[in-house]
A and B are shown apart, each in its own frame.
Chain A
Amino acid sequence: MAGKGNKASGAAVKEKPRPKTAEAGAPDELNKEQLLEMYTLLFRCRLVDERARLLFRQGKFKGNFYSAVGQEATHVGTLYGCRRSDWVGPSHRDMVAAVVKGVPARDIIAQLYACQASPDRGKTTPAHFGHKDYNIITPSSTIAAQWQLVTGVAFGLKMQSKDDICFAYCGDGATSTGAWHEAVNFAGVHKLGILYVVQNNLWAESVPLRLQSAAKTLADKAVGYGMPGVVVDGNDVLAVYRVAQEAIRRARAGDGPTLIECKTYRWYGHSEIDPAKYRPKEEVEEWKKRDPLARLEKHLGEEKILTDEKKGKIEAAIKKEIDEAVEFVEKSPYPDPGETFQHVYAEE
């Protein structure tokens, strides 16, 4: 997993977690309130995701769940401060992108339970979260298909001279698909306003990165499409934020897309039914030490921005929101069976 950033991008590459998170430093433009807000989002992602896992294992909802625990800094770092009108093309592991975009826990839990209150009224599976009110596109399970769609959104926005931008997410495995390359190439040609975020967690389900790609870094692929490629420590939310801010500036200004490779790790299996025995224990333990939430927490503690009392309050508020969401959803009815036949065409 040796990796170097694309020199042209000028972005810093951090291979290993810095011994003291304080070294990461906060981007100048982030004040204390914003840092706390970012921390709260990271915490919300973690708690919503962990609750989803728990609910699944309690048999509260069917299907499967694809946890993003360990990878949340890639979502928070890229989407923090974005507009509600900006678009997100998520994959199956990006449900927490909705948390960062401000979707209430109630809508997310409702999706898990496939009840009538779900934004998709129970049509699709638990982790494939979309929400029109927040411009989060409901994903297909065919890998990287969402990159095509969200690239099209960016194309449509550009044709109308709008400066809303798009965020596309995928894992390392997706970079092997034709869909991925066709989308990125198209965006390069048309200088679309989009951030392509690859969460390189080293494993595509059970397939290690070495069998996925011979490229030195996944960000290197950007060279072929005429855009900057940046490698960033995906477990350092402030580093991700810094890289994303530059990409966002480029995107809004019409300077084109950026490919961002976030080096990160999923703590759990590909899904809740995957014990992930293919990964060495030491590797998992090593990455857990680089927990993005704990790192920011430590940093904010050292900076005297976060106290134990404050943390307790934040945690309690999030848990309350989730508890209330679960309570609400568990009382919500399933969709009417007749809805099976609805939403096929605009003009029936």
Chain B
Amino acid sequence: MGQPVTYIQAINQAMHEEFARDPKLFILGEDIADGGVFRATEGLAHKFGEERVVDSPLAEAAIIGACTGASLVGMNPLAEIQFADFITPAMDQIVQNVAKLRYRSAGAFEPHLTIRICTGGGVGGGLYHSQENAAWFAHEPGLKIVYPSTPYDAKGLLKACLRGKDCYLYFEHKKLYRSIKEELPDEDYTVPVGKAAVRREGTDLSIFTYGYMAQVSLQAAERMAEKGVNCEVVDLRTLLPLDKETILASAKKTNKVAVVHEDKKTMGIGAEVASIIQEEAFDYLDAPVWRVCGPDVPIMPFSPPLEETFMLNPDKVVRELEKLAAY
């Protein structure tokens, strides 16, 4: 094991190692050759050249279109969307071409790419630097969506995407970038796409969560333990396709379920998790599935008390878990 690294260092390491391993890998995005807004691509252009670390015009649809097309002729594209808020101009490409080209050609054309997307709030980013909109894309079979919550997973999942044959949206939470550190193995490893991780074993209730909220949920679970409630925390890690097996096993084990996510409640990932559980583990439930989510307002407001009201934190999660435990 080496020195502890941050989440963003883990992402950077993954790219450096995969660029060295795969000569067909390139990255296209805004402001990346200089190291990126958050320094995720630090050192890449210097080491691998601006032919492979390409600053794009300020045009998100062109980034995704160029990457998707390049994948059809044997390149291995990595796109960077600087903020999830800015992904909307590329929506047509992602939804109509990336997600559908394989299907509409009956597998004759095989697009594959990874799109790194900086996401999430709670850092004073305001309306258009805080959105966590993974759920928009979770309605699109043909895409795979991963969302690490730890440095280990950040590195392992990114490597898995860069070696995979599908189209991956890789969400990375900016509040996690430098807030946690972890020692990573020296040897090469990947984290499989499509597998959730049980972060904390528990017996009294299950929390299904992802991203920054996985860290918040772990803190809430420790507080609940002090109150005598033993929570299991399941980090979904992959949002599309969901790991139904792990979700159902945990729900059946604890009989009480909460879903915790930063994004808006209505039509969110939590709604899908709740549906899977009621469809396939209805008889095991001792309480309704509890949704602890962001509020249904259009966007995360900027002023500190407004942002705090929008964001979940351990206190808020504990309050809801107490209600669930007492149900």
A112 to chain B minimum Cβ distance, whole angstroms, is 16
Contact status A179-B73, CB under 8 Å: no
Interface 1/0s, chain B 97-114, versus A by CB < 8 A?
100111111111110100
Residues in A with CB closer than 8 Å to B84 are: none
A224 to chain B minimum Cβ distance, whole angstroms, is 12
Contact status B75-A159, CB under 8 Å: yes
Q: Judge if A250 is at the interface, Cβ distance under 8 Å.
A: no
Contact status A124-B68, CB under 8 Å: no
Q: Of B74, B164, B165, which is within 8 A of A160 by CB?
A: B74
CA distance A182 to B59 in the complex (A): 6
* Size range of the chain B interface in the assembly: 35 or more
Contact status B69-A148, CB under 8 Å: yes
B28-79 interface with A by 8 A CB criterion: 51, 56-57, 59, 61-62, 64-75
CA distance A178 to B66 in the complex (A): 15
Residues in A with CB closer than 8 Å to B73 are: 87, 153, 156-157, 160, 162
Contact status B68-A344, CB under 8 Å: no
Contact status A159-B70, CB under 8 Å: yes
How many A-B contacts if CB must be within 8 Å? 147
CA distance A151 to B101 in the complex (A): 15
CA distance A255 to B203 in the complex (A): 67
CA distance A130 to B102 in the complex (A): 12
Contact status B104-A123, CB under 8 Å: yes
Contact status A152-B59, CB under 8 Å: no
Residues in B with CB closer than 8 Å to A342 are: 106-107
A343 to chain B minimum Cβ distance, whole angstroms, is 4
B75 to chain A minimum Cβ distance, whole angstroms, is 4
CA distance A229 to B250 in the complex (A): 62
Given contacts A120-B104, A145-B97, A148-B62, contact A132 B67 (CB under 8 A): no
Residues in A with CB closer than 8 Å to B70 are: 152-153, 155-156, 159
Q: Of B97, B106, B165, which is within 8 A of A149 by CB?
A: B97
Q: Judge if B303 is at the interface, Cβ distance under 8 Å.
A: no
29 chain-A/chain-B pairs, Cβ below 8 angstroms: A123-B105, A132-B105, A137-B72, A137-B109, A141-B96, A145-B65, A148-B61, A148-B64, A148-B68, A148-B69, A149-B68, A149-B101, A152-B65, A152-B69, A153-B72, A155-B69, A156-B72, A156-B74, A159-B26, A160-B75, A178-B89, A186-B65, A343-B107, A344-B103, A345-B144, A346-B165, A347-B164, A347-B165, A347-B166
Which residues on A are within 8 Å of B, measured CB to CB? 87, 119-124, 128, 130-132, 137-138, 140-142, 145, 147-157, 159-160, 162, 178-179, 182-183, 185-186, 189, 339, 342-347
